[in-house]
């Protein structure tokens, strides 16, 4: 299996380079790794402090890791933090994250890259958030006997670890000092392949993060002026498929205000949204109105970073991704504000979406007709609305505490010292 893995890590950058000529994200992936080791050498040349390395695949995993980073920074100020990303969608948004001492792209995995990376950085402690299993990096950490924790891991029966060919993947799991997983089901799956002693079920650190976001909420004057006293539907992280299910309802209900935050905000995608929603205005245009009321009922957010605050203004939250193969995006950012959550049919990979439905805090819909029925029921039935909203918020609050459990483990095992 390692033979095929080596082919994969050899071909991946080559394919990314070919795609980069017509794909902005692939281009950022390539450009961000140019002279990466020279940049690392320069950054770490004069460092004499111990380093904690935190690796995240992308922005969603960063949000999971963020409560832990900030808690460690608070409890262990003598350590420096290196934050790495695999994806441009994480790095480009958080490359100036103030709680990290360095933020870099992770060089593509290989035997030589991993060895070189560790020789330069010399980490004393490592966190991998949720997933991203890079064999040579993990193996190098094990060889050097560096504590390595998996944070908010989630495992499913269809993953390679649990298949007949999963021996190579199990080797990667054996590199971790400890596995902090989200669910009992994950722990049971891991026990079936021999992992019983170094596992803790502690939940998902994202719950701690969204609670912090809600607690730190600050009003956005221009949004308050836009929504006024109307019912508001905030649709977050939408893809084309989501907007095509939603646009008819938005166009047919001018009395309701809609805030649409597309997952991608490139020029073509924003133009597509403006075409689908007939009575729309861009957020960047709204600012030119000097907070004056507008006649449009749809506001399209053409920037990154506002969404988690926007859910605060919603009567109902619609979460995108549920009509695509990858599945629904972050439902917790909405539920934490005690808002009913609605999303498409593809959510089975996401335990928080499943549990939110089981706890009567969310509704899954299959098409535009069901979407209209769900919205109508929530907006017209006050008892149903209040019950759904309360269940959504309570679900998030009851799941808090994963970050503190990990910190307590670190303290108990004396894995970090001041």
306-318: pLDDT as tens digits: 999 999 999 999 9
Q: 184 and 283: one domain?
A: no
Across residues 403-411, what is the average pLDDT? 96
Asked whether residue 32 is domain-assigned, the answer is yes
Across residues 174-181, what is the average pLDDT? 97
pLDDT band for 292, please (50, 70, 90 cuts).
low
Asked whether residue 274 is domain-assigned, the answer is yes
85-114: pLDDT as tens digits: 999 989 999 999 999 999 999 999 999 999
Domain residue limits at 268: 218-398
User: What CATH number does residue 154 fall under?
Assistant: 3.40.50.11720
Asked whether residue 113 is domain-assigned, the answer is yes
3-state SS of the chain is: CHHHHHHHHHHHHHHHHHHCCCCHHHHHHHHHCCCHHHHHHHHHCCCCCCEEEEEECCHHHHHHHHHHHHHHHHHCCCCEEEEEECCHHHHHHHCCCCCCCEEEECCCCCHHHHHHHHHHHCCCEEEEECCCCCHHHHHHHHHCCCCEEEEEECCCCCCHHHCCCCHHHHHHHCCCCEEEECCHHHHHHHHCCCCCCCEEECCCHHHHHHHHHHHCCCCCHHHHHHHCCCCEEEEEEECHHHHHHHHHHHHHCCCCEEEEEECCCCHHHHHHHHHHCCCEEEHHHHHHHCCCCCCCCEEECCCCCCHHHHHHHCCEEEECCCCCCCCCCCCHHHHCCCCCEEECCCCCCCHHHHHHHHCCCEEECCCHHHHHHHHHHHHHCHHHHHHHHHHHHHHHHHCCCHHHHHHHHHHHHCCCCC
Asked whether residue 418 is domain-assigned, the answer is no
User: What CATH number does residue 322 fall under?
Assistant: 3.40.50.2000
Percentage of the residues of the chain whose pLDDT score is greater than 70: 98
Asked whether residue 333 is domain-assigned, the answer is yes
349-358: pLDDT as tens digits: 899 999 999 9
Q: 42 and 122: one domain?
A: yes
Q: 73 and 171: one domain?
A: yes
Q: 149 and 285: one domain?
A: no
Total domains, the chain: 2
d(CA 37, CA 214): 39
Name the average pLDDT for the chain.
95
Q: 186 and 295: one domain?
A: no
Percentage of the residues of the chain whose pLDDT score is greater than 90: 93
In the prediction, which pLDDT does 294 show?
A: 59
Q: 248 and 335: one domain?
A: yes
Q: 85 and 163: one domain?
A: yes
Q: 54 and 82: one domain?
A: yes
Is the pLDDT reported for residue 295 higher than 80?
no
Asked whether residue 240 is domain-assigned, the answer is yes
Asked whether residue 212 is domain-assigned, the answer is no
Asked whether residue 81 is domain-assigned, the answer is yes
In the prediction, which pLDDT does 289 show?
A: 54
Residue with more model confidence, 117 or 418 = 117
Q: 22 and 95: one domain?
A: yes
In the prediction, which pLDDT does 288 show?
A: 56
Is the pLDDT reported for residue 369 higher than 50?
yes
In the prediction, which pLDDT does 291 show?
A: 46
In the prediction, which pLDDT does 207 show?
A: 97
Across residues 114-139, what is the average pLDDT? 97
187-223: pLDDT as tens digits: 999 999 999 999 999 999 999 999 999 999 999 999 9
User: Which one, of 303, 270, 304, 297, lies nearest residue 284 by Cα?
Assistant: 303
Q: 376 and 319: one domain?
A: yes
Q: 316 and 358: one domain?
A: yes
In the prediction, which pLDDT does 414 show?
A: 94
Q: 182 and 262: one domain?
A: no
């Amino acid at each position: 299996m390692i033979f095929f893995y080596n082919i994969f890590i050899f071909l991946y950058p080559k394919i990314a380079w070919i795609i980069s000529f017509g794909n902005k994200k692939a281009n950022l992936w390539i450009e961000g790794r140019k002279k990466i080791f020279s940049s690392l050498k320069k950054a770490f040349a004069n460092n004499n402090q111990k380093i904690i390395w935190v690796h995240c695949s992308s922005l969603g995993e960063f949000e999971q890791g963020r409560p832990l980073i900030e808690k460690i920074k608070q409890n262990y100020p003598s350590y420096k933090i290196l934050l790495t990303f695999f994806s441009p969608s994480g790095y480009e948004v958080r490359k100036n994250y103030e709680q990290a001492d360095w933020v870099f792209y992770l060089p593509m995995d290989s035997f030589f890259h991993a060895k070189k990376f560790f020789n330069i950085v010399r980490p004393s402690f490592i966190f991998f958030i949720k997933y991203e299993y890079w064999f040579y990096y993990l193996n190098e950490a094990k060889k050097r006997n560096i504590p390595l924790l998996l944070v908010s891991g989630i495992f499913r029966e269809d993953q390679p670890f649990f298949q007949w060919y999963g021996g190579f993947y199990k080797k990667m799991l054996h590199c971790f000092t400890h596995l902090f997983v989200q669910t009992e089901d994950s722990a049971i799956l891991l026990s079936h392949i021999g992992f019983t002693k170094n596992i803790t079920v502690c939940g998902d650190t994202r719950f701690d993060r969204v609670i912090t976001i809600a607690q730190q909420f600050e009003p956005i004057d221009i949004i308050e002026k836009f929504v006024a006293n109307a019912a508001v539907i905030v649709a977050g992280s939408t893809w084309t498929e989501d907007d095509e299910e939603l646009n008819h309802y938005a166009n047919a209900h001018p009395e309701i205000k809609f805030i649409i935050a597309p997952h991608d905000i490139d020029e073509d995608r924003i133009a597509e949204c403006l075409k689908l929603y007939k009575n729309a205005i861009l957020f960047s245009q709204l600012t030119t109105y000097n907070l004056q009321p507008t006649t449009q009922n749809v506001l399209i957010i053409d920037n990154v970073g506002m969404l988690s605050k926007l859910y605060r203004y919603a009567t109902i939250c619609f979460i995108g991704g549920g009509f695509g193969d990858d599945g629904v995006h972050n439902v917790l950012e909405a539920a934490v504000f005690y808002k009913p959550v609605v999303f498409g049919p593809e959510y089975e990979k996401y335990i928080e979406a499943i549990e939110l439905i089981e706890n009567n805090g969310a509704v899954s819909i299959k098409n535009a007709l069901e979407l209209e029925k769900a919205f109508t029921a929530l907006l017209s039935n006050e008892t149903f609305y209040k019950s759904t909203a309360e269940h959504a918020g309570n679900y998030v609050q009851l799941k808090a505490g994963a970050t503190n459990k990990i910190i307590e483990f670190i303290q108990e095992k004396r894995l970090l010292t001041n």
